[in-house]
Amino acid sequence: MIYAIEGIVTQKEPTFVIIKTSSGLSYGVFVSLFCSTKIEKGAKIELFTTQIIKEDSQKLYGFLEKNEQQMFELLLKVNGIGASTAMAVCSTLDVNSFYKALNLGDESAFKKVAGIGVKVAKRILVELSDKKINLENIDENKSKAMQALLTLGFKQDKILQVLKDCTHENTSDLIKEALKKLS
């Protein structure tokens, strides 16, 4: 499994880049529109990747931010959502808009995505209802820490209680402090 890739962008299309690594190998990586706008041809970048292997294909999906990758992988768990639709969601909704739509049960936010109708939007809300995040009084670092802890399998209510008492300010220290309190 390829977890990340670092190299120089040799070709860039709106949702696809080719990255040449220092070893001389070039990899094709699908990216969201949000990610693509931050990438320049000829620049050296590192992308977190999700590799999807099927009988007839092997594809890499790349993300500049771990939160966007987690959102993509969360969407893949929804019945009936494949990589193309998950990437379309990542290209339409940024991470904060995605979690806000989940919190509010905003079906219309998901229907804005090409390929998602009423049934799929409702399915996303139902199947990901346990991934809602209370964003009130939580700064960006605590929000990122919460998303990481949710990914690790901790319950939202316990994470919220612990994060209120955490004193660290950067994300990695918050996660470490929260993990100590959660265990």
pLDDT in tens, 127-160: 988 765 555 456 677 777 877 887 787 877 788 7
Residues 168 and 122 in one domain: no
Residues 13 and 46 in one domain: yes
Residues 29 and 57 in one domain: yes
Confidence of residue 48 (pLDDT cuts 50, 70, 90): very high
- Specify the DSSP class assigned to residue 65: S
Residues 73 and 87 in one domain: yes
Residues 24 and 57 in one domain: yes
Domain extent, residue 174, equals 140-182
Residues 96 and 146 in one domain: no
pLDDT number for residue 36: 95
Q: Which of 131, 150, 171 is the last residue of a domain?
A: 131
Count of the separate structural domains present in the chain: 3
Label residue 36 left, alpha or beta by phi (over 0 means left) and psi (-120 to 50 means alpha).
Answer: alpha
Q: How far apart are the first and last CA of the chain?
A: 29
- Contact between residue 51 and residue 83 where contact means Cβ atoms under 8 Å apart: no
